[in-house]
Structure 1
Amino acid sequence: MIGKGKAISHTQVSMQYGWDQEKNAQVVYAQNIAGDSPKEITAEFKLTQDLNINCEKNTLSFIISPTIEDGKTLDKKALSKVCQEFMKEMRLKDRQAIGFVHLDKAHKHIHLYVNRIDLQGKAYNDSFIGKRSQVAAEKVAERMQLTTVKQVQWEKDHNLQAIRTEIKRRHDLTMRQFKPRTFQDYIKGMETNGVKVIPSINKADKLQGFRFEFDNYNLKGSEVHRSMTGGNIGKQLSGDKNIKQFINENTTLQLAGKTVQLSTGMLRTMVKEVIKKTISKAIDIGMGI
């Protein structure tokens, strides 16, 4: 579960969004209020806020987001408890508050609005409220046996590593299976093996590298593996062919429906390979190998 929070001044406008019936909004939590519309509740908030004329951002706005899986099992009563426990964790005590849940999307989430001014006219300290909201949501999740941010991050990192490994495996398979010798052939081969290769083209219409789309992930080549940057893929595609010849043949390409050239970075990587091979060949000759 994730928590976000900030102090706002546009109470009614924000609350109207929270109570948007087009989003199938339902009230799941209410404390110290009697109104049944954003306008009426804003007016109730204002009566208390008038006790402190020095505070401009006098409403606290929170978004509490359980994971999609947790959201499927959280009914109105459970969502109300989430709000109640969050209020306790944030030490908001008996302030005026109202919470709505949006049900228009699979990712169920709560919009919670709390009067920053208490019934004695004292303003709530909103220092580091964003970070404190995250910590509070984490503690509530642990207490209610819901998925925490740390668990979500672990799963994300674990899944990402598996995705990287699989994309790299399919890259190696494409190289062995199809032996592509041009970027176009490589893109077609990867597509056959279930990975969409997206050319990264800058504003100057120069190819900088590639992104790889697989199983709802979209990663840069360097994020998949260091051998999958644009320049390194170019080196692999050249094979036994003279890399100078490969560069000449691939300086201008037809990719993503436009004519592009290799970027300086990709050319530099491949030219370094030319120099490396030249030096290695000279040493071998010098040693009589």
Structure 2
Amino acid sequence: MLAKLVKGTGFRGALDYDLGKAGASILTTNMAGEKPRELAQEFGAIRNLRPNLKKVVCHASISLAPQESLTDKEWRDVTQKYIQAMGFSDCQYIATKHTDTEHPHIHIVVNRVTMQGKVVSDSNDFRKQEKLMRELEKKYDLQAVTNSKEVDSKALTKNEVEKALRTGELPIRMQLQNKVKDTLKTYKNLNLFIKVLKENNIEVRLNRAKNGNIRGISFVLNGITMKGSSLGKGYSWNGLQKRGLYEQNEKNKEFIGCERRDSRSGRNHNDGSPLGIAEPAGATQNREQHGVDQAFERISKSNQGINSDSRKNHRRNKGFSH
């Protein structure tokens, strides 16, 4: 079970998305309205108790693995557990169920301003989510997911999650994580490791210092390049070495097609062309992190101000709980 939490400034965009999806239905709420505009007005009335609070919207998505399912009654219980665990018991909320993908998931929109005009702290919200997900997995006999601190893979971004659930395709980040991990189980020699990945349409690029030592590693799939560290600490060059990958000798350079770094200019070269590290806009349901719901990029674009605020804020503001 995966939870994703985004904080923003406007309710209307989140509500338009949650209630506008084909087949979307309200699971549970403590509000009177049913339409996005009505609900936004209700949220706004309480929000005005703290007019200076910018990050007033909490928008959570909770999803299961494709083969798992919960009844509506169980999803309502999940919602209530989430509301309580995150400290929102005295807050307005609405939970919506989506059925537009094979990944069962719900959305919860919550007002951080309580009915009494207090503000619910967002301290340690990421840890709270992870703890709750583990408890709910046990309660409903769901697939156990490893906590983020216990894995070497980076969690998916909200953009990747959104695209994955929309398209049903694994994100490039996850495809690379899975293939690199599987290859490393059998092939520890760098030459063989690169050869096998190449046979699976993944190009490996090495960043070498002038003395020939490898300083970094990148992977290319479908025209998208990602640094090893972008996949997680276990996929950086140092991380891969700790997991057993080794370079046999210096004669591998031609076979590898490595890059050399000009320490003075700070530019990477591979056959004379710069190496561009591009972050993919795509993504999905996770296995190291499994997937979660898509929704958040559009929500951010719909909510004027949500993008600029949340990107400036610390990573906690878009924590992806495993």
User: TM-score with structure 1 length normalisation?
Assistant: 0.57
CA deviations over 1:142-172 (Å, ceiling 9, x no partner):
3333234327998998x87654123448965
C-alpha contact (below 8 Å) 2:197/2:204 kept by paired residues: no
List aligned pairs for 1:1-289, cutoff 5 A: 1-22=1-22, 24-30=23-29, 32-70=30-68, 73-150=69-146, 162-168=182-188, 187=195, 190=196, 195-200=200-205, 211=219, 232=247, 235=250, 250=254, 260=271
- In our comparison, the structure showing a higher alpha carbon Rg is 1
Kindly tell me: are residues 75 and 60 of structure 1, through their superposed partners in 2, closer, same or farther at Cα, counting changes over 3 Å? Answer: same
Kindly tell me: are residues 21 and 4 of structure 1, through their superposed partners in 2, closer, same or farther at Cα, counting changes over 3 Å? Answer: closer
Kindly tell me: are residues 191 and 90 of structure 1, through their superposed partners in 2, closer, same or farther at Cα, counting changes over 3 Å? Answer: closer
C-alpha contact (below 8 Å) 1:86/1:140 kept by paired residues: no
Q: Displacement, 1:38? A: 1.1
Letter in 2 for 1:260: D
Kindly tell me: are residues 171 and 76 of structure 1, through their superposed partners in 2, closer, same or farther at Cα, counting changes over 3 Å? Answer: farther
Kindly tell me: are residues 170 and 105 of structure 1, through their superposed partners in 2, closer, same or farther at Cα, counting changes over 3 Å? Answer: farther
Distance 1:86 1:74 in 2: 15
User: TM-score with structure 2 length normalisation?
Assistant: 0.52
Q: Displacement, 1:46? A: 1.7
Q: Displacement, 1:117? A: 2.2
SS state of the match for residue 39, structure 1? helix
C-alpha contact (below 8 Å) 2:85/2:128 kept by paired residues: no
C-alpha contact (below 8 Å) 1:164/1:225 kept by paired residues: no
Kindly tell me: are residues 197 and 113 of structure 1, through their superposed partners in 2, closer, same or farther at Cα, counting changes over 3 Å? Answer: closer
Point out where structure 2 has 5 or more consecutive residues left out of the alignment: 154-177, 208-213, 222-230, 258-269, 275-322
SS state of the match for residue 3, structure 2? strand
How well do the aligned residues superpose, as a CA RMSD in angstroms? Answer: 4.4
Letter in 2 for 1:57: K
Deviates more, 1:219-228 or 1:34-43: 219-228
- Which structure has the highest helix share of the two? 1
Kindly tell me: are residues 236 and 262 of structure 1, through their superposed partners in 2, closer, same or farther at Cα, counting changes over 3 Å? Answer: farther
Letter in 1 for 2:21: Q
SS state of the match for residue 110, structure 1? strand
- Amino-acid identity (%): 20
Bigger relative contact order (CA 8 A; separation at least 6): 2
Q: Displacement, 1:16? A: 1.3
SS state of the match for residue 35, structure 1? coil
Point out where structure 1 has 5 or more consecutive residues left out of the alignment: 175-185, 238-246, 254-258, 264-289
Deviates more, 1:8-17 or 1:89-98: 89-98
CA deviations over 1:44-103 (Å, ceiling 9, x no partner):
112222333343333322222333333xx2232322221122112223224321112333
SS state of the match for residue 62, structure 1? strand
C-alpha contact (below 8 Å) 2:130/2:147 kept by paired residues: no
